[in-house]
Amino acid sequence: MKKPDDNPYVEPPIRAEFDGTDEITEDEAREQIELLREAVEYHDYRYYVENDPVVADKTYDALYDRLEKVEDEFGLVDQSSPTRRVGGAPLDELESREHVVEMLSLDSSEEEDEVRAFDERVRETVGEVDYHVEPKFDGLSVELVYDDGVLEAAVTRGDGVVGDEVTANLRTVRSVPLRLREAPERLVVRGEVLMPKDGFQELNRRRVERGDEPFANPRNAAAGTVRQLDPSVVADRPLDVYAYDIMETTAEVGSQSEAVGLLEELGFLVDEESRLVDGIGGFVEYRDELLGRRDELGYEIDGVVAKVESFDARERLGSTATHPRWAFAYKFPAKTDETRVAGIAVQVGRTGKLTPVVLLEPVDVDGVTISRASLHNEKQARELGVSEGARVEVERAGDVIPQVKEVIEDGDGSFRMPESCPACGSEVVQEDEHHYCTGGVGCPAQLQGRLEHYASRDAADIEGMGEEVVATLVDEGLVSELPHLYDLTVDDLRALKGFGGKSARKLVEEIEESKEVSLASFLTGLGIRHVGKERAARLADSMDLDGLREADANDLRRVEDVGPEVAETVAGFFEGRGGTVVEELLERGVEPESKETGGSDVLEGQSFVFTGSVEGYTRRELTDELERHGANVTSSVSSATDYLVVGENAGDTKLKDAQEHGVEKLDEKEFREDVLETL
């Protein structure tokens, strides 16, 4: 993208001969398309980035419509065209993708002393420095990857190493350039997805008018939108992406100021509040200034960030395992107000933990109505003195999460955690400072989390059973207990939003394949408290499923790494509702098999990914067989993958990722001959 002053497309390139398409050649069409794309991109930049349009809407629409018509009639469409921003076909699920450069978090504090201590550590290592400062956006971090100036991938931060690929969604955001003019060969940008305050209010107004629940705050709205499976939904919501860091590039960039200047020159949306200051004193002054003006900004922020200006100095400072040593976030204090406690309810979480929820008389805190706030546990409620009738000061921690800060006037002091689960009636037990429902997979309040856990990679490994799919199954009443998962039909799924015939059949097939599962994976998936992957493997090595179902606590204590508390928990699980759930799973054909012997380390250190099906095997069988001989089998392709096994009906995404990462591909014949037959 050329800078505005250099761009010749202030006036649209519409000539008389552009009126029709019958009289032009394909070469002329290509020329028109190139001119029209540059014009539309330029006017998008002026409108969505500069907020300074230079043509009327009618003129812009004429440019856009002409471009779309010529592209369609000559079949000259590609993903970098601005006409592709309307959104593509819905996805079955978001694919995981490894970041080009690890996306670390920032060290932070609300205390000025800690900010100055950060500066002292910097100066002890590299001497006096200048800081480049900027707002700390309250949104969703993303990585944008450009090859030869074309947007190739957009990935959420995730765990910092791997995130969700949301390229199709961010193509619809007008402030994200699809093509960069005179760009470096390689450019990886870090940015923040935000929903502007005015766009958020308008979106909520539309949702209320339609009868939908409004979003709680702009951050939640932005994060939820970016992870949509249907790009057309994203295209219809007001999002911006602010670029603030260059993570990798072939361009010559030696400082943060140069990086921000290059981003602006290339057409990215950069924040006008960022600037260079003199030392830590300038940073503290900047923080105080922005704290006083944050309500005037068009987007939410929860602090400010200082970054060492010089990239050479950053190199010398380095990073810890979690954050760079050359940057620090100075957080704003939470916003507060007062109200009265109307009551305290108890919510059962996905892991069975009971959490007190304070029901408040609604109070407005900086434009957000707060009517509830969560406490960590009963101990915190007692220490704060929170009970029905109390007058309390509430705050929005991080400007988002409502919390009770302190009690100003005592209530009736009546709150106690219940002795039985409010959702399923099972016994409630206390462990340390927390209370837990013992109902396990039989507790409906835990159902969604349990289903996600059961379907995860270390458990039944049901591909396609992500958070959104599980939530839909539960919300629509198709799955009210774990065993009901195996009653689902293709017709059940096809009736749900987001499912077609192909995706419905695929999920049903995946569920059917999961019936053949190792005992260790099955035990992991049941979500028994204290029984993770490693402990489940030890239990499976010690006895079969029938033995586990009949074992008492004394029997279980003989297993390695199973102490008295764990033994009681496992025995209680099978004696209670958990035992009934296991029986119902077995009745539906689930066959947990004890661990096979005779494995080897012949595949030690080798990583495999499967796409498509291999005749005669389920995905679970192949995974178990390869892992039994030392291999690592993962669900997504990355630079750490050694082989992609390509079976029948292989997916395009994994094939593309394999090509990008230089991963060797094995067809079914090669896989059988070179791998399976050698085991």
Residue ranges of domains in the chain: 4-77, 108-331, 335-409, 441-593, 607-678
Confidence band (pLDDT; 50, 70, 90) for 200?
A: confident
pLDDT surpassing 80 at residue 303: yes
pLDDT over 90 percentage in the chain: 39
Q: What is the largest CA-CA distance in the chain?
A: 90
pLDDT over 70 percentage in the chain: 88
CB 64 within 8 A of CB 40: yes
| Average pLDDT for 531-542 | 86
Distances (CA, A) of 381 to 377, 430, 435: 7, 15, 13
Q: Residue 48's pLDDT is what? A: 55
Catalytic site residue from 136, 307, 331, 335: 136
Q: Where is average pLDDT lowest: 366-380, 515-529, 536-550?
A: 366-380
Q: Residue 367's pLDDT is what? A: 63
Fold of 335-409: OB fold (Dihydrolipoamide Acetyltransferase, E2P) (2.40.50)
| Average pLDDT for 632-639 | 82
Most confident of 447-461, 510-524, 533-547: 510-524
pLDDT surpassing 90 at residue 423: no
pLDDT surpassing 80 at residue 403: yes
Q: Residue 441's pLDDT is what? A: 61
pLDDT surpassing 50 at residue 10: no
Q: Residue 296's pLDDT is what? A: 87
642 compared with 336, residue with greater pLDDT: 642
Strand partners, 354: 348, 435
Please give the backbone phi and psi of residue 616, each rounded to the nearest 5 degrees, phi first: 90, -5
Confidence band (pLDDT; 50, 70, 90) for 537?
A: confident
Q: Residue 398's pLDDT is what? A: 54
Confidence band (pLDDT; 50, 70, 90) for 5?
A: very low
586 compared with 77, residue with greater pLDDT: 586
* Architecture label for domain 607-678: 3-Layer(aba) Sandwich (3.40)
Q: What is the 3-state secondary structure (H, E, C) of 464-518?
A: CCCHHHHHHHHHCCCCCCHHHHHHCCHHHHHCCCCCCHHHHHHHHHHHHHCCEEE
pLDDT surpassing 90 at residue 614: no
Q: How far apart are CA 432 and CA 428, in angstroms?
A: 13
| Predicted confidence (pLDDT) per residue in 75-94, tens digit | 776 766 777 665 555 566 77
Q: Say whether 136 is catalytic.
A: yes
Most confident of 144-153, 467-476, 670-679: 144-153
| Average pLDDT for 248-259 | 95
Confidence band (pLDDT; 50, 70, 90) for 290?
A: very high
In the DSSP assignment, the letter for residue 48 is I
CB 180 within 8 A of CB 149: yes
For the chain, the average pLDDT equals: 84
Q: Residue 246's pLDDT is what? A: 97
Confidence band (pLDDT; 50, 70, 90) for 595?
A: low
Instruction: Decide which of 3.10.450.40, 2.60.120.560, 3.40.50.300, 3.30.470.30 is the CATH code for 108-331.
Output: 3.30.470.30
Q: Residue 313's pLDDT is what? A: 96
Q: Residue 549's pLDDT is what? A: 93
561 compared with 225, residue with greater pLDDT: 225
pLDDT surpassing 60 at residue 15: no
Same fold, 108-331 and 607-678: no
Fold of 4-77: Helix Hairpins (1.10.287)
Helices (H) and strands (E) in the chain, counts: 24, 24
Confidence band (pLDDT; 50, 70, 90) for 6?
A: very low
Fold of 441-593: DNA polymerase; domain 1 (1.10.150)
Confidence band (pLDDT; 50, 70, 90) for 22?
A: low
Q: How far apart are CA 162 and CA 292, in angstroms?
A: 37
